Amino acid sequence: MAGAGLVILAIDVVTKIAAVASLSDRAPIELLPGVLDLRLTRNPGAAFSIAGGATVLFSIVALVVVVIIVRTARTLTSLSWAVVLGLLLGGALGNLSDRIFRAPAPLRGHVVDWIHLHNWPVFNIADSAIVIGGVVAVILAAFGTALDSQPAPRDGQPNPDGPAGPDGRHATDIDDRDGQ
C-alpha cells in the first residue's frame, strides 16, 4: 500500500510542477483536437470546482481519509486492497499537499489541475488515482474480497477454512476459551 501511495504521490507532484512550469500564462496545448488538451487551472473546491469556499473543510476531510487509510493498513493482508488503498492514499496526499503548500495559504491552497478531456472538468493524476481506486474498490467489494483475505468462496466451491457449522462459524473461528 505504501509503495503504491508513494508512486502516485511522486508522479502527481512531479507532473504538477511540470504543468505549472510549462502551462502557466499560455493557451491550452491541444493533444487530440476536440478530445484532450493540457491547460493549467487552480481549483479551490472539490471535484468539478464545487464549494470553492470550503477549502479548509476539504483539507480536514483529506487528513481524516489519510488517517483512516493508514490505520486500516495495520490489518490489511489483501494485495488487491493494498493497491486500491495505495491509489486512494497517494491521490489524497497529492491533493492535500497542494492544499497545504500552495497559495493562497496553508489548508486553503488551490489544487493544480492540468488534464482536460473535453466535456469534462480539468483534473490531475491524484484525481485519476482516487477515481480508479474508488472504481476498483467497488469491484472488489462486489466480488466479496475482504481487506484481510482473498475473494470469498462462491457457492459450490470449497471453503479454505473448512465447512461452516450451523451457526455459520468455521472451525478456525471457534475460541477454545469460550467453551464451544
Is residue 180 in some structural domain? no
Residue 46 DSSP SS3: coil
Exposure of 125 by Cβ count < 10 A (0-12 exposed, 13-18 middle, 19+ buried)? buried
pLDDT digits (tens, 9 = 90+) for 4-15: 999 999 999 999
Sheet with 36-43, edge to edge strand ranges: 29-32, 36-43, 111-117
Q: Cell digits for 162?
A: 473448512
| pLDDT at 107 (0 to 100) | 82
Q: Are 112 and 124 in contact (CB under 8 A)?
A: yes
Which of the residues 12, 37, 98, 113 is marked catalytic? 113
Residue 179 covered by a domain: no
Q: Residue length, the chain?
A: 180
Domain-embedded: residue 162: no
DSSP for the chain reads -HHHHHHHHHHHHHHHHHHHHHHTTS--EEEETTTEEEEEEEESSSGGGTTGGGHHHHHHHHHHHHHHHHHHGGG---HHHHHHHHHHHHHHHHHHHHHHHSSS-TTTPPEEEEEEETTS--B-HHHHHHHHHHHHHHHHHHTTB-TTSSBPPPTTS--TT--B-TTS-BGGG--GGGT-
Q: Which of 12, 37, 98, 127 is catalytic?
A: 127
pLDDT of residue 53: 66
DSSP run (H or E) holding 113:
strand 111-117
Which domain covers residue 84, as residue numbers? 2-151
161 included as an active-site residue: no
Ranges of the chain with pLDDT below 70: 46-53, 149-180
118 domain-assigned: yes
Q: How many domains does the chain have?
A: 1
Q: Which amino acid is at 14?
A: V
Residue 36 lies in a domain: yes
Residue 113 among the catalytic residues: yes
**Residue 170 falls inside a structural domain:** no
Whether residue 44 is contained in a domain is answered as yes
What is the value of pTM for the model shown?
0.79
Is residue 30 a part of any domain in this protein? yes
